[in-house]
Amino acid sequence: MDREELSTIILTMQGQLDALNENIEKLIEQVRIANKNRFGRSTETMKSMDGQLSFFDEADAIYDENTAEPEADELLPVKPRKKKTKGQRDIDLKNFPEELLPPHAVSEEALDAFYGKGNWKRMPDETYKRLRHEPGSWTVEIHTVEVYVGTDGYHQDEFLRGDRPKDIFPNSIVTPSLLASILNVKYVKSSPLYRIEQEFQRNGVNISRQTMANWIINSSNRYFAALVERMKQELLKLPVTQSDETPTQVIHDDRSPGSKSYMWVHRSGELFKERPIVVYEYQKGRNHELPLAFYRDYNGVLVTDGLKQYHLLQDRIPGLTNANCWAHARRDYADAIKVADKADAAAVKRSVSYQALSRIALIYELEGALKELSPEQRLQERQENIRPLVEEYFTWVKKQLADTTVPPKGKTAEGLKYSVNQEEYLKVFLTDGNVPIDNSASERSIRTFCVGKKNWMFHDSVKGAQASAVIYSLSETAKLNNLRPYYYFKHLLTELPKLRDEKGNIDSAKLDYLLPWSTELPAECRKARR
């Protein structure tokens, strides 16, 4: 074997050794990241960074549209007894305070107009009970309905009753306050239905989780969906929107087991403070056809992460511009820093990832000082002070890749490549003062949604996943508009039943007074300003 052949073999072996070392380093990094994700604190910035969770829901797993509404006696305290006697209901309810409401009356003018003057007499009133739940208290509402019968004339022997309030569901004991409490505890406080059931039982109220699940899904379908659709119409009028998606699991969706579903989150641009909007949408996947259907006629800027499906929207929708998220641009660098050997602090600070994060942190620092400016002022400041930093960052990134000093398979290299690939989209915020620097607002909007992941195992059906999307749309939008979700839900459940026509439809043109930013909402819906 001559010297040349030997040199070739040595060089080949050296190349193989280098490749092995790179793979080993990558594996070590992946193990450290996995351990950090499992046991450590999630962080993406130099000081603190937010992670992203997944969400599942159990309400629809016990939903059964064929289940009859329980009687009042089934839900309220039941004491052991040998035989039901006259007046036993009053005994069952004695532990609850009662409020006798003003009668649902019929005026003398209405009676004379219907029966003819004097051709009527009053019959025994009808009474019924509904269970009201305010935070910290239970009250049995006793409703009295005046009843009259014709004694002569065209309407002899016909009955006329006072106008009673619209029930949320026919012959159901549920009131707006009771259902609002359930929705608030489940969707705002992230408590599963079985815990709500247990808490009710401790107060002597026997409402099963199946009954609550039926109320939740039926209220979403009958009332809330129309309002959320109206919110969507307003959202798509805005010049800047933001979107994100998170995986969820739906058991019965006509697909093979383990198929991924997604909850998409669409919201108003973070810098629009007047009337923020959040709309959730359940979909069976995340291919570009799904957001395409949502944004088909949209004219404006859509802020997202670097998912290529969003880039395809820009190609398919003439009026849409896709802007990317700088928080995602720093994510790989942050992962590299998190698993670095902290014993050598100087080496960490010399690392490419640390230098990248430092550059991005400076961009964020300058951007943070612009929040209170007008869009025009913000754009001017960005052009004068932030654009040079952004251009320098991309020049620096490209140099790092050209120098080939960074291991090509590690997180640092992934971060550099991500920035280069997304450069066009990452620079969009420099051209419009209404465009936020990142998509963090969307991730904050799904945070409550994600908190319940340990409480809920799955969605049982598409219908249940859609109901969750509708209700979260309302609760998250309510919070952003400085509303108290419980009182907002209660108000909606009082007003929306009045708007359903004979076919059960609600005219969207009549809903504006109920939107979360409406000035016509009652004062109790609003948080007190401090």
Q: Which domain covers residue 195, as residue numbers?
A: 60-80+88-222+483-507
Q: Do 391 and 497 belong together in one domain?
A: no
Q: How many CA atoms lie within 13 A of 483 on its CB side?
A: 31
pLDDT digits 0-9 by tens, 11-26: 666 665 655 555 555 5
Assigned domain for 530 exists = no
Q: For the residues 389-418, what does the mean pLDDT come to?
A: 91
- Do 430 and 241 meet the contact criterion of CB atoms below 8 Å apart? no
Give the pLDDT confidence score for residue 382 in this predicted structure.
97
- For residue 290, give the nearest of 268, 270, 264, 259 by alpha carbon: 264
Give residue 313's pLDDT band: very low, low, confident or very high (50, 70, 90). Answer: very high
Q: Do 75 and 202 belong together in one domain?
A: yes
Assigned domain for 399 exists = yes
**Boundary residue ending a domain (378, 413, 438):** 438
Give the pLDDT confidence score for residue 54 in this predicted structure.
29
pLDDT cut 70: percent of the chain above it: 78
Q: For the residues 151-162, what does the mean pLDDT come to?
A: 92
Domain count, the chain: 2
- Do 16 and 307 meet the contact criterion of CB atoms below 8 Å apart? no
Q: Do 64 and 207 belong together in one domain?
A: yes
How much is the pTM? 0.77
- Do 115 and 150 meet the contact criterion of CB atoms below 8 Å apart? yes
pLDDT digits 0-9 by tens, 360-390: 999 999 999 999 999 999 999 999 999 999 9
First to last CA, the chain: 86
Q: For the residues 489-494, what does the mean pLDDT come to?
A: 96
Report how far residue 305's alpha carbon sits from residue 329's, in angstroms, rounded to the nearest whole number: 9
**Boundary residue ending a domain (402, 417, 438):** 438
Give residue 52's pLDDT band: very low, low, confident or very high (50, 70, 90). Answer: very low
| pLDDT of 50 over the 50 cut | no
* DSSP class per residue in 269-296: -TT--SS--EEEEEES---THHHHHHST
